[in-house]
Amino acid sequence: MSTALVILAAGKGTRMESDLPKVLHKIGGAPLLHHAMLSASALEPERCIVVTGHGADAVEAAAKEFDPDAVAVRQSEQLGTAHAVLQARDALDGFDGDVIVLYGDTPFITTETLEQMIAARAAHDVVVLGFNAADPGRYGRLIMDGPSLKQIVEFKEATDEEKAITLCNSGVICAESGTLFDLLTEVGNDNAAGEYYLPDIVGIATARGLTATAVTCTEAETLGINSRLELAAAEALFQQAKRRDLIEDGVVMQAPDTVFLSFDTIIGRDAEIEPNVVFAPGVTVESGARIRAFSHLEGAHVSRGAIVGPFARLRPGAELAEDVHIGNFVEIKNASIDEGAKVNHLTYIGDAEIGARTNIGAGTITCNYDGVMKHRTTIGRDTFIGSNTMLVAPVTVGNEAMTATATVVTKDVPDGAMAIARTEQTNKQGFARKLFSMLRAKKAKQAKV
């Protein structure tokens, strides 16, 4: 049976103390909303509906960024979770599969858990995701009778016996589309808040003779984000899990707690990550590469055997081939560095192509921006770029060529040629002593005033 998603992302998130919609706050470099969509995307849903409200334009743009086929519907008034799901009814017109209701501020529910809910739906009309809480607090309690879920009781309405139950409601629900919306039409708002609550469909279903059950997951999976403190705690949980997964897959980390990863970071086995490395989104590091301490990588690809850092920065579009060396205080942006090339010291390479086995000397800069447009620099294979070379793009340096130290390259350099472009040095005898004497006298005069 096909599956559809309804992701609730309309809340303002007042406790976040932010102008940014709650679901757009980030964990691992990605909005909370993307995390919720990512786990569910592995189910290959036929439709994905995102219910928006506060900051709707921004939330809808983020949903489309992740899934261009996602459909956004708006909840103009915040009248509860059942009311929010009802806003998706028209968008699911004609769909007769299972619907899973997720939350845009609950980022850790796994694909495996959602698959278990779909499997349970084959034998039950309504499936609820529950968890055993270490401290149940004010969560709604799941009242079970064997495998059957009889009722969800809110804390304030629970008896002392029911409050002792640790099996709690996550809010995530799965039901066949027609059944779900039929049940939702019967949900009332006779409560203190005057809102329509999604969990009420369980009691309505059982009263009709329909069956309900609960699938359980770990409490950490159901963590919802409502404040900055909870966001920070969630980031820590994400980082711990991501580091653990990479180490178990064969990545070497000398000080794991100092390495920060993104939701899409890919690192191959036997790669070595030194302390205090940051992986922003879009980074792939192949097996056997080494990322040295205090480096920052974003939107970059590092091939097998390459060494990056320490104190290096790879910006979006950095493409390093096998056995490339990128050294300390080097920045690479939108540039490909071919096999065995070395850029070891205090250098900026942007909008460029560097050939195989070429050596880039310390202090080299590709001058790629003229104030309006970006231009490219192309350097061939087996070429030597002398220290403190300025390459004024657009410019090409050929194969097996070289530039002299302190050269400003403004014209193409042919294969095998050496470029020299600097003024001739002259030495003025005694001038340094005379100049220092004049300056010291001036300084002394100023001190007396």
Q: Indicate which residues carry an active-site annotation.
A: 345
101: its two tokens: 């209701």
Q: Work out the angle at residue 309's Cα, subtended by the Cα atoms of residues 282 and 254, and round it to the nearest 5 degrees.
A: 85
* Crossing angle (nearest 10°) for helices 32-41 and 111-121: 50
Contacts of 306 (CB under 8 A, 6+ apart): 286, 289, 290, 320, 321, 322, 323, 324, 325, 326
Q: Residues 101, 177: contact at Cβ < 8 Å?
A: no
Contacts of 199 (CB under 8 A, 6+ apart): 81, 128, 140, 152, 154, 169, 171, 173
Q: Residues 53, 74: contact at Cβ < 8 Å?
A: yes
How many other CB atoms are found less than 10 A from the CB of residue 329?
A: 15
Instruction: Outline where DSSP puts E strands in 227-376.
Output: 252-253, 266-267, 272-273, 278-279, 284-285, 290-291, 296-297, 301-302, 307-308, 313-314, 319-320, 325-337, 342-354, 359-360, 365-367
322: its two tokens: 């096998």
Distance separating alpha carbons of residues 92 and 292, to the nearest angstrom: 50
Sort residue 130 into left (φ over 0), alpha (ψ -120 to 50) or beta.
beta
Element (H, E) at 27: strand 26-27
